[in-house]
């Protein structure tokens, strides 16, 4: 069974964490959660608890078909953890599906993987996205090769569909 990694920290946007977590399980993927600490329960902005299965040093990028970065307040802290930024950068460089929604693209900015790539994000960070060299587009979902971005919770159906479709295009041997 192919695995997908989702990043978590305090203040994650609950819907952007829960929707892909369950949608990808429904599609047949094993979903693992990584946060700053293994075994810690992080509380989403709306109060939902999310348990981290792994710490950053437990992650081997090649074990995953995709990395998902939900938004909310979590990415602002996650981007200060070098190993988590490295995980995102490695995933992009190795052609893994990397999907970020809302404030999640802050991790893509920190990983310096947006130059010349099409992307979208929460309106509050679109200037940051542009300053990182991205070609900003105000659309529900933007797919640029292995990179998938969305704006906010109402875009979750389009985001989930794009992630599942991108994963279906990954050769079985690479999952």
The CATH code of the domain that includes 133 is 3.40.50.880
Domain that holds residue 66: 3-174
Going by pLDDT thresholds of 50, 70 and 90, the confidence category of residue 175 is low
Q: CA–CA separation, 68 vs 100, rounded Å? A: 6
Give residue-wise pLDDT tens across range 10-33. 999 999 999 999 999 999 999 999
**β-strand pairing of 147-150 with 141-144:** antiparallel
Question: Long-range contacts of range 82-89, CB-CB < 8 Å, 24 or more positions apart?
Answer: 83/56, 83/57, 83/59, 84/7, 84/34, 84/36, 84/56, 85/110, 85/111, 86/111, 87/5, 87/34, 87/56, 87/59, 87/61, 88/7, 88/113, 89/113
pLDDT at 1: 79
Q: Which residues are catalytic?
A: 103
pLDDT at 133: 98
Query: How many domains are there within the chain?
Result: 1
pLDDT at 172: 64
Give residue-wise pLDDT tens across range 70-120. 999 999 999 999 999 999 999 999 999 999 999 999 999 999 999 999 999
């Amino acid at each position: 069974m192919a695995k997908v990694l989702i990043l978590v920290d305090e203040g994650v946007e609950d819907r952007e964490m829960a929707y892909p977590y369950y949608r990808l399980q429904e599609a047949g993927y094993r979903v693992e959660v990584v946060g700053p600490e293994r075994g810690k329960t992080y509380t989403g902005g709306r109060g939902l608890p999310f348990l981290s299965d792994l710490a950053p040093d437990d992650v081997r990028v090649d074990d995953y078909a995709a990395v998902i970065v939900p938004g909310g307040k979590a990415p602002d802290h996650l981007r200060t953890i070098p190993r988590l930024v490295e995980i995102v950068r490695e995933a992009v460089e190795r052609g893994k599906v990397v999907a970020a929604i809302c404030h999640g693209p802050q991790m893509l900015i920190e990983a310096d993987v947006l130059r010349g790539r099409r992307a979208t994000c929460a309106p509050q960070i679109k200037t940051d996205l542009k300053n990182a060299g991205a070609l900003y587009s105000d659309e529900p979902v933007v797919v640029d090769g292995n990179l998938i971005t969305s704006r906010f919770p109402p875009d979750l159906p389009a985001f989930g569909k794009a992630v599942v479709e991108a994963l279906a295009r990954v050769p079985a041997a690479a999952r």
